[in-house]
Amino acid sequence: MFSLNLPISTPQSVDVKLHFAELYYGAPGRAAGGAGKRVFDVIAEGQTVLNNFDIFAASGGALQAVVVPIHGIQVNNGTLNLQFKAEQDFASIAAIEVLAAT
């Protein structure tokens, strides 16, 4: 498991866009691809927001980007806490956008 702690200036609700791409399983010259090779949970502020997430399955294959929006995460302590908990292999993230909730 790995964690990210992102500063949020004031207590507020935020929307998060999680960007993923499977860059190993199924990529040329790498390990064989397929669903189930990399599976993990994403936890935001103590709540599971993605359960058993599989990048390969969600994106349709290797080297394909997928963006998963998560709306209305309440941050009260000045830090957005994100955890990535591996179920199979390691969790992976390409980018994170944090926006004031709309």
The CATH number of the domain holding residue 94 is: 2.60.120.430
User: Longest C-alpha distance within the chain, in Å?
Assistant: 46
pLDDT of amino acid 85: 98
Q: Which of 86, 17, 20 has its CA nearest to residue 6?
A: 17
The pLDDT, as a whole number, for residue 22 is 97
Check residue 102 and give its pLDDT: 81
Number of domains, the chain: 1
The per-residue b/e assignment along 31-69, b for 16 or more CB within 10 angstroms, e otherwise, is eebeeebbbbbbbbbeeebbeebbbbbebeebeeebeee
Neighbours of 76 (CB within 10 A): 11
Expressed as residue numbers, the domain containing 12 is 2-100
Predicted TM-score (pTM) of the model is 0.94
pLDDT of 10-68, one tens digit each? 899 999 999 999 999 999 999 999 999 999 999 999 999 999 999 999 999 999 999 99
Q: What are phi and psi of 2, to 5 degrees?
A: -130, 155
Kindly tell me if the per-residue pLDDT of 75 is higher than 90. yes
86 HSE (CA, 13 A, CB side): 10
